[in-house]
Structure 1
Amino acid sequence: MKNTALTATHEALGAKMVPFAGYNMPVQYEGVNIEHEAVRTAVGVFDVSHMGEFLVEGPHALELVQKVTTNDASKLIVGKAQYSCLPNDNGGIVDDLIVYKVKEETYLLVVNASNIEKDWNWITSKNDVGATLRDLSEDYSLLAIQGPKAVEAMQSLTSHDLSAINFYSFVIGDFAGIEYVIISATGYTGSGGFEIYCKNTEVKQIWDKVVEAGAKPIGLAARDTLRLEMGYSLYGNDIDDTTSPFEAGLGWIVKFTKQFTNSDHLSEQKKHILGRKLVAFEIDEKGIPRQGYDIVDASGKAIGKVTSGTMSPSLKKGIGLGYVAPIFSDFGSKIYIQIRKNAVPATVVKLPFYKG
Structure 2
Amino acid sequence: MFGITPSARLRPSPFYEATVKEGVTNFTTYNHMLMPTAFGKPEEEYWRLINGVSQWDVAVERQVQLKGPDAGRLAQILSPRDLSKQKVGQGKYVPLCNHQGILINDPICLKLADDLYWLSIADSNIWFWAAAIAAERGLNVEVSEPDVSPMAIQGPKAEDVVAHVCGDWVRELKYFWFRETEIQGIPVVVQRSGWSKQGGFEIYLRDATKGTALWNIFREAGASWGIGPGGPNWCERVESGLISYGGDTDSTTNPYEVRMGKYVDLQVPDDTVGIYALRRIAAEGPKRHSLGIILDAGEPVKPGFLWNPIFKEGRKVGDLTNCVFSYRLQKNIGFALIDSACVIGDAVQAQVAGVMQPGKLTDLPFL
TM-score between the two structures when normalised by the length of structure 2: 0.88
Question: What is the aligned partner in structure 1 of residue 35 from structure 2?
Answer: 25
Does the Cα contact within 8 Å between 2:266 and 2:278 map onto a contact in 1? no
Cα shift readout 1:152-172 (whole Å, capped 9, x = no counterpart): 122221135221111111111
Once the two structures are superposed, residues 280-310 of structure 1 have per-residue CA deviations (whole angstroms, 9 ceiling, x without a partner) of 122233253732222111x332211111221
Given that 2:64 and 2:126 are in contact with CA atoms closer than 8 Å, whether structure 1 keeps it comes out as no
Q: Secondary structure at the match of 2:204?
A: strand
Q: 2:13 aligns with which of 4, 29, 33?
A: 4
2:340 is aligned to: 326
Judged with a 3 Å threshold, the aligned counterparts in structure 2 of structure 1 residues 341 and 194 are, in CA distance, closer, same or farther, namely closer
Which sits farther off after the overlay, 43-52 or 55-64? 55-64
Residue 63 of structure 2: aligned partner: 53
Shift in Å, 1:179? 5.0
AA aligned opposite 1:218: G
What is residue 35 of structure 1 aligned with on the other side? Answer: 45
Residue of 288, 307, 310 corresponding to 1:292: 307
Structure 1 segments unaligned to the other structure (5+ residues): none
For the residues of structure 1 that align with 2:185 and 2:311, how far apart are their CA atoms? 53
- Is the partner of 1:74 in helix, strand or coil? coil
* Shift in CA distance, 30/178, structure 1 to aligned 2, threshold 3 Å: farther
Q: In the superposition, relative to structure 1, how do residues 5 and 348 fare at CA in structure 2: closer, same or farther (>3 Å)?
A: same
Q: Name the residue aligned to 2:6.
A: none
Q: 1:67 corresponds to which residue? A: 77
1:90 to partner: Cα distance = 2.1
Query: Which letter does structure 1 place at the counterpart of 2:294?
Result: E
> CA–CA distance in 1 between the matches of 2:120 and 2:320?
27
Q: Secondary structure of 2:106's partner?
A: strand
Indicate if the aligned counterparts of 1:182 and 1:196 stay in contact, CA closer than 8 A.
yes
Of 222, 231, 237, which aligns to 1:219?
Answer: 231
The answer for the alignment partner of 1:181 in structure 2 is 188
Is 1:278 the counterpart of 2:290? The answer is: yes
Residues in 2 aligned to 1:70 and 1:227: alpha-carbon distance in whole angstroms = 25
Describe the superposition over 1:174-219 as per-residue Cα deviations: whole angstroms up to 9, x where unpaired.
Answer: 33x1353111001111000100001212222111011112221103
- Secondary structure (helix, strand or coil) at the match of 1:3 reads coil
1:339 paired to 2:347:
no
CA gap of 1:129–1:64, structure 2 versus 1, over 3 A, is farther
Rounded Cα–Cα distance in structure 2 between residues aligned with 1:234 and 1:205: 30
For residues 355 and 38 of structure 2, what CA distance do their matches in structure 1 show?
30
1:142 Cα deviation (Å)? 0.9
Which stretches in structure 2 are left out of the alignment for 5+ residues? 1-9
CA distance in 1, matches of 2:246, 2:164: 38
1:289, 1:318 within 8 Å by CA — same for their partners in 2?
A: no
Letter of the 2:194 counterpart: G
- Aligned equivalents of 1:51, 1:98: Cα separation in 2: 10
Report if the CA contact (8 A) 2:98-2:274 is conserved: yes
Whether 1:308 aligns to 2:318 is: no
Out of 260, 263, 268, the residue aligned to residue 280 of structure 2 is 268
CA distance in 1, matches of 2:326, 2:63: 31
How much has 1:17 moved relative to structure 2? 3.6
- Equivalent pair of 2:18/2:215 in contact (CA under 8 Å): no
| Match 2:268 to one of 238, 251, 258 | 258
Which residue, 101, 106, 111 being the options, matches 1:101?
111
Distance 1:148 1:47, change over 3 A: same
CA 1:98–1:314 in 2, change beyond 3 Å: closer, same or farther? same
- Residue in 2 that maps onto 1:88: 98
C-alpha change, 1:133 and 1:317, in structure 2 (3 Å) is farther
3-state SS, counterpart of residue 111 of structure 2: strand
Structure 1 pair 341–100 and aligned structure 2 pair: CA distance change class (3 A): closer
* Structure 1 length-normalised TM: 0.91
> Are the counterparts in 2 of residues 289 and 337 from structure 1 also a CA contact under 8 Å?
no
CA distance 1:102–1:3, shift in 2 (3 Å): same
Do 1:289 and 1:320's aligned partners in 2 also have CA atoms closer than 8 Å? no
* CA distance in structure 2 between the aligned counterparts of 1:7 and 1:141, rounded to whole angstroms: 11
The secondary structure found in structure 1 opposite 2:321 is strand
Q: 1:342 Cα shift?
A: 4.3
For residues 112-161 of structure 1, the C-alpha deviation after alignment (integer angstroms, 9 at most, x for no partner) is 2x31xx21111111112424234235x22210100010111222211352
Deviation digits for residues 61-81 of structure 1 (CA, Å, limit 9, x no counterpart): 111111011211112111111
Q: Which residue is equivalent to 2:7?
A: none
Q: Percent identity?
A: 24
Deviation at 1:340, TM superposition (A): 4.6
- 2:5 corresponds to: none
Counterparts of 1:159-170 in structure 2, within 5 Å, are 159-170=167-178
Residues 201, 270 of structure 1: alpha-carbon distance in 2 compared, 3 angstrom cutoff: same
